[in-house]
Amino acid sequence: MASKPVIGYAQVAKNFGSVVAVNGVSLDVAEGEFLAIVGGSGSGKTTLLRLTNRLIEADRGTITVEGEDISHVDPVALRRRIGYVFQSGGLFPHLSVTDNIGITPKLLGIPEKEIAARVDELLDLVRLDRTQHRDRLPQDLSGGQRQRVGVARALAARPRIVLMDEPFGALDPLTRDALGEDYRALHHKLRLTTVMITHDMTEAILLADRIAVMRAGKLLAQGTPAELGRSDDAYVLELLRTPRRQVARLNERLPQGGAA
Amino acid sequence: MSLISDPRWGEALSHLPDYLGNHVRVSLAALALGLIVSLPLAILCRNRPVARNILLALASIVQTVPGLALLALFYPLLLLAASVTLAWFGVAFSAFGFLPAMLALALYSMLPVLRNGITGLNGIDPALLEAAQGVGMTPRQSLVMVELPLALPVMMAGIRTAAVWVIGTATLSTPIGQTSLGNYIFAGLQTQNWVFVLFGCFASAVLALAVDQLLGLIETGLRNRNRLRTTLGGVGIAALVAATLVPSLGRSSPAYVVGAKTFAEQYVLSALIRDRLAAAGLPATTRSGLGSNVAFEALKAGDIDLYVDYSGTLWANQLHRTDIKPRKELIDELKTALAKQNITLLGELGFENAYALVMPRKRAEALGIHSVADLAAHTAGLSIAADYEFFSRPEWAALRDAYGLAFRAQRQMQPDFMYAAVASGEVDVIAGYTSDGLIAKYDLVTLDDPKNAIPPYDAILLLAPKRAGDDRLKAALKPLLERIDIADMREANLRASGNDANSSPDVVAKWLWEKVGKR
């Protein structure tokens, strides 16, 4: 990779007791890149993501963010400059949509007025109606709306990096597709660097520039979908076969739809 | 007279601003203190299982101590603490009334607050804690902005339980000198004034229910994020507190406080003294229902200004004497000893309220018993009942040893009930009081004490150290000294033990003054 990576993992390892969660992973994420980390449950993909903003601490190895070794960076400050989208939203149930979205700017001490303007801007960005949603509580939103608010909250403090933990997993297929597309557009528009965790290879292929495959704590392969296709790892090939099979079957069953 | 038109309702109502105001004041202070201590503890030990379990176990142990005992315990504890601060720092504080009541009730309120606080904080979805961390909150910000608000409904439920407990238990703070709605209940029980008992129970139940409902409104408001409910509940609580506290705040406290122990004679005498002081232009109030030792200590500390005690009681309990002297000698010696503590023994009222063994006249005659010495031969087949303290008092030991008494069984009873118990044959002998009107009413007889094993119990007026030089007070009390004879006092006590409109201590005190004042 020519330019300096925005996120760099070097020989990173993390154990939980006797369980090896991440085992010697080295991986670089370039500026402006959309990387998907794909793996089953227990593959260590979520642990790797949490290590990135020090929600948990690595046992061994080095992680750099924008060139700095994060073990020397104040974890609270680090988290405030990295957007994080939680599985199923992670919205605070006692706070309104506005207060949820504005939380990180508020922690950073940005004036109320500026935050209000920023919240409106973000509601537009994630395509939620301002007047209709601003004062609602999370319990009054649909799953898709909640996740849009989750994305808006992650972007509120204008981070250059966004981490996403299976953000669209719990949504119905239509919402999931729309939200995925919308986020990808945002990623380009705001020139973000995004790392997304998913167990769904189809989603990874559709959204990401590059894909990293993890299994049992190890990084099996990484590259563009085309590069992955040339892998000699049986598990990686198996993961890639599934979307292909689905496409073939879809084409067969939906002839009028044509090739995707 | 019907229960509804009974004038004692009016009398009860006239005490309400004072009793209710004090009740709310001590409950509120106790709850506030309980919260100030418990909530930080709950927060501190939420992630420390060992500390958490120890704390909850301690709070549970406190909870198993009966409310009355816990309150009673704080009085000597604070007396000790006060003597320590006096010795070390030269300042003492009052161990009487508000302070011990508040501390005991605060301790009592801790368990539900702690338990719900910890449960509320530990019950928060871990995903939300991670989200709080993930958006860049420090641990403190996470606590204040996320954990506490989310735990609030559960915490509020604990506060609600604590409030109801404290309001209920506060009625038991009367014997340690804190005025409360319990004053109705204690006074009513002692003088068989069931109107007062009913009124006191009803008032404290209504107060507890109102607070419970209003706090419940806040709780469901918080739970459902319904601001209207929360606000309504908050405004309701504030209004309730204001309405109960303001009338009692407006009153200037009277200059003189007349103490009274927990039986009818004391209620009557304190009312009589209060009326005499008022007639002499000295505003006074009564503080009744005090435990025997509490009354003396309260006088010594100046928390009450005067009260009536009995020579034999002080002889045994304060001077720790077991020998017995003739009446006059005993009083003179007592006077000198009390003067060393700056307490003035102003004089005798004129009657004696001694312990005496009492049994039905017919039974005594049938058995040929006239004195305790006669009784001794029969005790193996007889049972005896007495009030809660008699069997642990030195007089009992003296009496028992002097005559070789060995009863088949001994029981403790509420003093009001034991006369009826001996009259009905439920027990054979009781340790009664010589001035009690029920002795005549039930046709009972007091047995002679030929060996003078029981010391004399002259009713005497005691003045607090700060009133030692108060000549106006002494002059106002003068008409009472040596004026009340045993017949009058028995009659007054009998009237006070009745259950009608004329049996309230205030009315009986006026009757007694009419008899005594003419002398």
Instruction: Summarize pLDDT for B355-367 with one digit per residue, the tens.
Output: 899 999 999 999 9
Tens-digit pLDDT profile for residues B318-344: 888 878 788 888 999 999 999 999 999
Q: What is the pLDDT of residues B204-213, one digit of tens each?
A: 999 999 999 9
pLDDT at res. B86: 78
Average pLDDT over residues B107-130: 91
What is the bridge-based pairing of β-strands B256-261 and A210-215? unpaired
- Tell me the shortest Cα–Cα distance from A95 to chain B, in angstroms: 9
Give tens-digit pLDDT for B62-101: 888 888 888 888 877 887 887 788 778 777 677 777 888 9
Amino acid identity, position B89: F
On the CB side of A138, how many CA atoms lie within 13 Å of its CA?
A: 19
Alpha-carbon distance of B286 to B298, in angstroms, equals 13
Chain A residue with minimum CA distance to B148? A94
Q: What is the mean pLDDT of residues B161-175?
A: 91
Residue with tokens 């879809």: A250
CB of B126 within 8 Å of a chain A CB? The answer is no
> What's the confidence (pLDDT) of residue B248?
65
* Closest CA–CA distance from residue A79 to any residue of chain B (Å): 5
- For residue B2, the model assigns a pLDDT of 61
Residues of B in contact with A93 (CB under 8 A): 128, 150
- What mean pLDDT comes out for the span B374-395? 87
Strand partners, B286: B258
Q: Residue A138 corresponds to which tokens in the numbers above?
A: 């999370």
Predicted local confidence at residue A83, as pLDDT: 95
The two tokens of residue B268 are 């009557």
Contact of A63 with chain B, judged by CB distance below 8 Å, is answered with no
Q: What is the pLDDT of residue B254?
A: 65
Strand order in the sheet with B458-463: B284-290, B256-261, B306-310, B458-463, B344-352
Nearest residue in B to A164, CA atom: B134
**Which of B127, B142, B48 lies closest to A50 in space, CA to CA?**
B127
Distance CA B228, CA B220 (A): 11
* The pLDDT of residue B19 is above 70: yes
- Taking CB atoms and an 8 Å cutoff, what residues of chain B touch A92? 128, 131-132, 145-146, 150
pLDDT > 90? residue A64: yes
Which of these ranges, A47-56, A90-99, B281-290, has the smallest mean pLDDT? Answer: B281-290
pLDDT of residue B253: 62
How far is it, in rounded angstroms, from Cα A51 to Cα A61? 11
Interior angle at CA A100, CA A98 and CA A103, nearest 5: 105
d(CA A6, CA B446): 102
Sort out which chain A residues have CB atoms less than 8 A from B137's CB and list them: 76, 107
Q: In terms of CA atoms, which chain A residue is nearest residue B132? A: A92
**Tokens 């007694």 -> residue:** B512
Instruction: Determine the pLDDT at residue B294.
Output: 82
**pLDDT category of residue A260 using cuts at 50, 70 and 90:** very low
Position A114 scores a pLDDT of 93
Q: Is the dihedral of CA A94, A100, A106, A108 positive or negative?
A: positive
**What is the arithmetic mean of pLDDT over B418-447?**
89
Q: Which of B134, B149, B225 sits opposite A55 (nearest CB)?
A: B134
Please say if the pLDDT value at position B406 is more than 50: yes
Indicate if the pLDDT at residue A4 is higher than 50. yes
Judged by a CB distance cut-off of 8 A, whether residue A134 touches chain B is: no
Mean pLDDT of chain A: 90
Q: What is the mean pLDDT of residues B305-313?
A: 92
Flag whether residue B132 sits within 8 Å of chain A, measured between CB atoms. yes
> For the whole model, what pTM was predicted?
0.74
Question: Do B146 and A103 contact (CB within 8 A), yes or no?
Answer: no
Q: Is the pLDDT of residue A1 over 50?
A: no
Instruction: Provide the terminal-to-terminal Cα distance of chain B, rounded to the nearest Å.
Output: 33
- What is the reported pLDDT for A229? 86
Question: Any long-range contacts for B389-397 (C-beta under 8 Å, 24+ apart)?
Answer: B389/B292, B390/B355, B390/B431, B393/B316, B393/B317, B394/B316, B394/B322, B395/B312, B395/B316, B395/B355, B395/B453, B395/B454, B395/B455, B396/B431
Per-residue tokens: B129? 């804690």
In this predicted complex, what is the ipTM?
A: 0.89
Q: Read off the DSSP letter of residue B147.
A: I
Min mean pLDDT across A88-92, A220-224, B41-45, B192-196 is at B192-196
SS3 state of residue B101: helix
Q: Which of A182-186, B58-62, B110-114, B321-325 has the lowest mean pLDDT?
A: B321-325
